[in-house]
Structure 1
């Protein structure tokens, strides 16, 4: 396939005309006129963005279910003797660590774009440590709660929401470890860094989801 060849955009929706009104940070995830033939990064990011949109629908279904159950069972949401998840200093610190990691992983990707490989590795490793800390702290919190998965609606919804989110955090950490290992392969990023960009976008997605879950589970008190 010749370099520079443009794939024809056959979509009935005038995406290219709408695209020029979007902010620059959003344009990077959308293909241009169907995408250049050699633009694997751009097309890959577009596909990965669509994947994250589908994941967001799953989370939204869980969130709407939780809200609906809370509103319809407000009188008996907590069984006798169960206090529910509490907004403790431990939870706040864990949340701050996770959300702060987004401000670490983005400079890491930017460092890789500039060819600063050592800086990328250190920042990327820091993000891995922050994500691992969140998972360990989440497990400690679970072990200290006075309710379990079988404890009525509060237990079922809390563990499903936080468990599904933790699964995504674990996936993000595994992706980051993989990208860090690959950074030691000579010339690995000479042809692009789609894996790093996708991992960074996935991590931002995980952090945004936690903002919604944190608000629902800890700030919305029965």
Structure 2
């Protein structure tokens, strides 16, 4: 067998040597287990399609976070510059209604439910996975309906100055991501009824779970910014 310094054979897989200038593996051991699964190990196993795909999806979510950050910082800048006349006369602005609080609790709780669903699939508990994923889908739909109900109650619209344009842009863009997350979950649930579909891996479920966690984390920032400030 021809030896090459750039790789070495281990069992059936090939581990690509990490040639980065920073010894990432040295610091990786200090990270929590839930975070390690999203990071490459020594370049990654050539057979480890799941790990590589998850890492690529994580990078995609980081790019999405930049979009959200740009919108959030734009909101902050406009809010600070126009602090004296942020709300037009007669407009109360976003209010912390009971519905908003319930919506937030439901959405954040759904992260625990979908994570439990993925863990169930990993342990081969297909019926439990379906039940928990269906619960997550229902919670996501509940949030979307609640958000639509809240929009209908507000005393301002998209065209109502900066408060209207920024509020609907931030919550609408996040709502779009919630809808996408729900659609992805429906697809994953549907695929679970295909015999043997997840026998060789479940990257789609892992990516959907990670996407849902991302959506929930973003909402924590938006909720604090729009309703608590």
Please tell me the TM-score bracket, short chain as reference. Answer: over 0.9
Structure 2 distance, partners of 1:13, 1:149, is 47
Structure 2 distance, partners of 1:58, 1:64, is 10
Which of 39, 43, 46 aligns to 2:48? It is 39
Structure 2 distance, partners of 1:152, 1:161, is 14
- 2:14 partner SS: coil
1:162 aligns with 2:174: no
RMSD over aligned Cα atoms: 1.3
Structure 2 distance, partners of 1:123, 1:182, is 15
**Structure 2 residue aligned with 1:8:** 17
Shift of 1:5: 1.1
Structure 2 distance, partners of 1:93, 1:20, is 38
**Structure 1 residue aligned with 2:226:** 217
Structure 2 distance, partners of 1:138, 1:185, is 34
Which of 126, 133, 148 aligns to 2:135? It is 126
Structure 2 distance, partners of 1:203, 1:181, is 18
**Structure 2 residue aligned with 1:206:** 215
Is contact 1:3–1:37 with CA below 8 Å preserved after alignment?
no
1:80-159 superposed matches below 5 A? 80-159=89-168
**Matched positions, count:** 220
Which of 46, 63, 69 aligns to 1:60? It is 69
Moved over 3 A (4+): none
Runs (5+) with no aligned partner, structure 1: none
Structure 2 distance, partners of 1:3, 1:197, is 24
- 1:6 partner SS: strand
CA-to-aligned-CA distance 1:23-50 (integer Å, 9 cap, x gap): 2211110111111111011111111111
CA-to-aligned-CA distance 1:135-191 (integer Å, 9 cap, x gap): 111111112211111110000100010000001000100100000000011111111
Structure 1 distance, partners of 2:89, 2:56, is 48
Structure 2 distance, partners of 1:24, 1:86, is 39
Runs (5+) with no aligned partner, structure 2: 1-8
1:48 aligns with 2:37: no
- 1:131 partner SS: helix
Structure 2 distance, partners of 1:25, 1:98, is 20
Structure 2 distance, partners of 1:134, 1:25, is 26
Structure 2 distance, partners of 1:11, 1:139, is 48
Structure 1 distance, partners of 2:105, 2:179, is 17
Shift of 1:8: 3.0
Shift of 1:11: 2.6
- 1:12 partner SS: coil
What is the TM-score normalised by the length of structure 2?
A: 0.93
Q: Which has the larger radius of gyration?
A: 2
